[in-house]
């Protein structure tokens, strides 16, 4: 039981982390909390289901959708989010609107039935008494690699430095000749791409429908607040806390408890350390 719960914990952590990672990048650069992150994620899941059921090989579908969603994200930034940039609340409201639209679109095109995709890999491995599904282990690995790469890219690569520079000091960045506007667009693209990646990954593991978006994005919000807004490391730590808390909660204490754990964790963090575990201090007003 422990190992299964742990696997589940890792899996949840991975999904939350990758969803939150995108949110953080977008927030860092544009000061926008994209509430529609989850909706875009679910949209990618639905696209994936159509492609894969349509006979497109999984990996091609994955790459294709991630690419498309990245472009879509850039489009959104150019057309919509740019206008409310720096206005977190305005951004929230806009993204609420986007959620409504995306959900409606999904219901129109795909209908309300929950959808399932053929497994990525069948089968499971036994470790002692525990039996662990291979595909989840695989996905955990993939996500872990992606996150590590992303983190490295963010801290080491030139682009990463540019991103972080823009996030920290926009004026300074533009003075150094960084094309801030383009950076923002790309950042939003990356964020959406990560959402898409998360979406396709989840789609191939669990049954999904439009509700998945809302619950995931709220969880991701909680994650980035716990971890500290604007900190990718924090996002990953927060995701792990939440993922494991839920997995072990529902394994050992029942579901109701597991539902409350994230909320309690959030309250605790906000009261003890409002700026989150890895967050920079908040300015008090």
Partner 1 sequence: MGVLAIAERRSTSSATGKDLRRAAPIVLPLVLLVLPLVTSSPQHHSWVAASLLWSLWVASLNIVWGYVGLLSVAQLALGAIAAYWVAILGARTDTNLGVLVVVGVLLSMVASVLLGAVSTRLKGFYFTIITIAFALTVSTILMNWDVAGRTTGLMFLRSEIPVIHLGPYELIATTTEGFYVLTAIVFVLANAIAALVLYSRAGRAMRAVRDDPQLARSLGFSPAAIRTLAFALSGALAGVAGILHAYSFQLVVPELFAIDQALLAVMLIVLAGLGNVWAPVIAGIIYLLLYQVAPIDGDLRAGLLGLVVILVILLLPRGIVDAVPAWRRAWAHRAASHSEEASA
Partner 2 sequence: MANRSHPRSRDLRLAGLGMTIMVLLLGLTACASDSGDEGGELRIAAVLPLTGPAAEIGAAWKAGIEIAEDVINDNGGLTIDGNKVDIKVKIVDDESTPAGAQRVIQELLNEDYQLFFGPSTSANFQTAFATLKDDERRLVLSPAQAAEPFLTTGGRLFKTQPSQSPEALAGFAQQFADYLKPETVAILQPQDPGGDGVAQNLAKGFEEAGVDVVYNNQVPADTRDFLPIVSAIRNTDPDLVITPYLDSVGGPFLQQAAQVGYVDTKFANYGGSSAQVAEAPQISEFTYMLATRAPDNPDDEVLAEFRAAYEEKFGHAPKPIDTYALMVYDPILMLAQAVEDAGTSTDIAAIAEALREVTDWKGKALPFSFDEKGLIQLETMQLATLRDGETTYTDFVP
CA–CA separation, 205 and 57 (whole Å) = 16
CA–CA separation, 218 and 109 (whole Å) = 25
Tell whether residue 127 is a contact of partner 1 (CB under 8 A).
no
Report angle CA 276, 277, 280 to the nearest 5 degrees: 65
Which listed residue (54, 55, 79, 113) binds partner 2 by CB under 8 A? 113
The minimum distance between CB 48 and partner 2, in angstroms, equals 15
Tell whether residue 267 is a contact of partner 1 (CB under 8 A).
yes
List the single partner that 77 binds among partner 2, partner 1, none, CB under 5 to 8 Å by kind.
Answer: none
Question: How would you label 84-111 residue by residue, b for 16+ Cβ within 10 Å and e otherwise?
Answer: bbeeeeebbebbeebbeebbeebeeebe
* Nearest alpha carbon to residue 176 among 155, 156, 161, 191: 161
Stretch that binds partner 2, among 61-69, 73-81, 131-139, 158-166 (CB under 8 A): 131-139
Tell whether residue 93 is a contact of partner 1 (CB under 8 A).
yes
Tell whether residue 158 is a contact of partner 1 (CB under 8 A).
no
Tell whether residue 133 is a contact of partner 2 (CB under 8 A).
yes
CB-nearer residue toward partner 2: 54 or 111:
111
* Contact call for residues 65 and 204 (beta carbons, < 8 A): no
List the single partner that 4 binds among partner 1, partner 2, none, CB under 5 to 8 Å by kind.
Answer: partner 2
Burial class (CB in 10 A: 0-12, 13-18, 19+), 59: exposed
CA–CA separation, 253 and 174 (whole Å) = 52
Tell whether residue 119 is a contact of partner 1 (CB under 8 A).
no
CB-nearer residue toward partner 2: 185 or 210:
210
Stretch that binds partner 1, among 13-21, 87-95, 141-149, 187-195 (CB under 8 A): 87-95
Looking at the chain, which runs of residues are DSSP E strands?
Answer: 124-127, 130-133
The minimum distance between CB 269 and partner 1, in angstroms, equals 11
| Residues 210-239 close enough to bind partner 2 by CB under 8 A | 211-212, 215
Question: Tell me, what DSSP letter sits at residue 133?
Answer: E
Which listed residue (25, 26, 94, 212) binds partner 1 by CB under 8 A? 94
Burial class (CB in 10 A: 0-12, 13-18, 19+), 50: middle
Tell whether residue 242 is a contact of partner 1 (CB under 8 A).
no
Tell whether residue 222 is a contact of partner 1 (CB under 8 A).
yes
List the beta bridge partners of residue 133. Answer: 124
Binding site residues, partner 1, CB under 8 A: 33, 80, 82-90, 92-94, 96-101, 103-105, 107-108, 181, 214, 218, 221-222, 225, 256, 259-260, 263, 266-267, 270-271, 274, 282, 284-285
């Amino acid at each position: 039981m422990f190992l299964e719960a742990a696997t589940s914990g890792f899996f949840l952590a991975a999904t939350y982390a990758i969803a939150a990672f995108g949110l953080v990048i977008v927030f860092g650069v544009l000061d926008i909390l994209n509430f529609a992150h989850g909706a875009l994620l679910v949209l990618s899941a639905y696209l994936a289901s159509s492609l894969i059921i349509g006979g497109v090989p999984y990996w091609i579908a994955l790459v294709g959708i991630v690419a498309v969603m990245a472009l879509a994200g850039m489009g959104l930034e150019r057309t919509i989010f740019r206008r409310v940039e720096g206005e977190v609340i305005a951004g929230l409201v806009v993204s609420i609107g986007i959620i409504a639209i995306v959900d409606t679109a999904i219901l129109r095109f795909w209908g309300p039935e929950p959808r399932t995709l053929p497994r990525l890999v069948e089968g499971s491995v036994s470790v002692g008494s525990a039996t662990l599904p291979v595909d989840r282990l695989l996905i955990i690995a993939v996500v872990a690699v992606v996150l590590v790469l992303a983190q490295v890219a963010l801290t080491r690569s030139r682009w990463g430095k540019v991103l972080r520079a823009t996030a920290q000091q926009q004026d300074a960045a533009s003075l150094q000749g960084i094309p801030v506007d383009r950076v923002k667009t790309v950042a939003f693209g990356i964020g959406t791409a990560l959402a898409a990646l998360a979406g396709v990954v989840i789609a191939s593991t669990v049954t999904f429908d439009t509700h998945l978006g809302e619950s995931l994005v709220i969880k991701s919000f909680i994650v980035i607040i716990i971890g500290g807004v604007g900190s990718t490391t924090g996002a990953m730590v927060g995701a792990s806390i939440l993922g494991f808390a839920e997995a072990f909660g529902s394994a050992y204490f029942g579901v109701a408890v597991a539902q409350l754990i994230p909320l309690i964790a959030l309250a605790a963090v906000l009261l003890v350390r409002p700026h989150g575990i890895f967050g920079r201090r908040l300015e008090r007003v």
